[in-house]
Amino acid sequence: MFGNWVKTSILMAGIVALFGAVGAMLGGQQGMLIALVFGGAMNLWAYWFSDKMVLKMYNARQVDETSSPYLYNMVRDLATRAQLPMPKVYIIDEAQPNAFATGRNPDNAAVAATTGIIRMLSERELRGVMAHELAHVKNRDILISTISATVAGAISMLAQFGMFFGGSRDDERPNMVLQILVMVMAPLAAMVIQMAISRTREFGADRGGAEISGDPDALASALAKIDAYARGIPMHAAEAHPETAQMMIMNPLAGGGLRGLFSTHPSTQERIARLRELIVRR
C-alpha cells in the first residue's frame, strides 16, 4: 500500500511538472503559471472524480443483483473470497470482450465488463477475469491507472489549446514552429506518463486473480479467447479515448505502430505462460 502511494505521489508530481513545461514552451512564464495551476487542479479533480469520468466515457451502466444477477453475484462471491468490500458493478454495451476496474481505493471501487466478454466467456473464464480485476483493487493500483488515463487526455488537450497562450516576455509573437512541435510531442509524453504504470502490474493482477478464483487455468483460457477475438472487434469508446486503454485486461486498440510501441500490456503469450507455471506448482 505504501509503495503505491509513493508511486501515486511521484506520478502526480511528474504530471504537474509536465504541465508546467508544456505551458512554458507554449507561452513563456505566463503560460507556465497557467499550466501549473491547471495541472494542480487537474490532479485534485482526478483523485476524486476520474473514476466517474472513465465510466461515463464508456457509457457504463450500473447493475445490481436484480438487473444482472449473473455478473453481480459472481463479483460478490469473488469479493468475499478476496476479503474486499463489494465494489459497484457496471456493464458496458460493447461487442469487444474486455473489462476493467477503477476507483480511488477498495472502499470506492468499481468493476466493469463488456457485454461481449459476458457472452463470449464461460462462467469459469469470466470468474477468472473478474478475479483479475478484483486483484487490481486489492493491490491498490486502480487509482494510479485511473489518474494516468484521465490526465494523459488532459495533457493532449492542453497541447491542442496551445494557441491560446501568449508569447514569452522577450517575444510576444507565438512561435508557431514550437507550438506545432509541442502539439505533436505532448500526446507522446502523455503516453510516456502512462508507461509509469508498469506492465508488471498486469502480471501481479493475473497472479492475484488466480489466487482469488483458485483457478489459474480459467484466466489463462480467458486471456487466449480475448486475445483471439478482441483484435477483430473494434471498441469504439476506447478508440475515442485511447488514453484509457491501459486500464483494460487486454489492449482494446485495433492499431499497431506507436500504440503498440507504447503498449502498457505485456504479451498475452507471456501472461498465459506465467499462469501455466502457477498450474504446475499447484
More confident: 106 or 259: 106
State the average pLDDT over residues 131-136. 96
Instruction: Using CA atoms of 63, 253, 153, 247 in order, give the dihedral in degrees to the nearest 10.
Output: 50
Gap between the Cα atoms of 14 and 18, Å rounded: 6
Catalytic positions, please?
Answer: 133
Q: Which of 83-87, 102-106, 141-145 has the lowest mean pLDDT?
A: 141-145
Annotated binding site for Zn(2+): 132, 136, 202
CB 159 within 8 A of CB 186: yes
Gap between the Cα atoms of 282 and 279, Å rounded: 5
What residues form DSSP beta bridges with 99? 113
Per-residue model confidence as pLDDT tens digits over 43-55: 677 778 878 999 9
pLDDT higher than 50, residue 167: no
Around Cβ 211, how many Cβ atoms within 10 Å? 16
What residues form DSSP beta bridges with 119? none
Annotated binding site: 132, 136, 202
Gap between the Cα atoms of 98 and 243, Å rounded: 16
What residues form DSSP beta bridges with 125? none
Q: Which of 16-30, 53-67, 159-173, 223-237 has the lowest mean pLDDT?
A: 159-173
C-alpha cell at 64: 445490481
State the average pLDDT over residues 82-110. 95
Confidence band for 232, pLDDT divided at 50, 70 and 90:
confident
Predicted local distance difference test score (pLDDT) of residue 168: 47
pLDDT higher than 70, residue 125: yes
Which of 278, 273, 274, 224 lies closest to 249, judged by CA? 224
Which of 207, 212, 220 lies closest to 78, judged by CA? 212
Please check whether the domain covering 2-153+195-281 is classified as CATH 3.30.2010.10.
Answer: yes
State the average pLDDT over residues 126-134. 98
Gap between the Cα atoms of 22 and 178, Å rounded: 10
- Please name the residues in contact with 255: beta carbons below 8 A apart, sequence gap of 6 or more: none
Per-residue model confidence as pLDDT tens digits over 203-214: 999 999 999 999
Among 155-164, 186-195, 248-257, the range of highest mean pLDDT: 248-257
Instruction: State residue 99 phi and psi, 5-degree precision.
Output: -160, 160
Per-residue model confidence as pLDDT tens digits over 31-77: 677 766 776 676 677 778 878 999 999 999 999 999 999 999 999 99
Gap between the Cα atoms of 255 and 153, Å rounded: 18
More confident: 279 or 89: 89
Residue that is written with C-alpha cell 465494489 in the block? 87
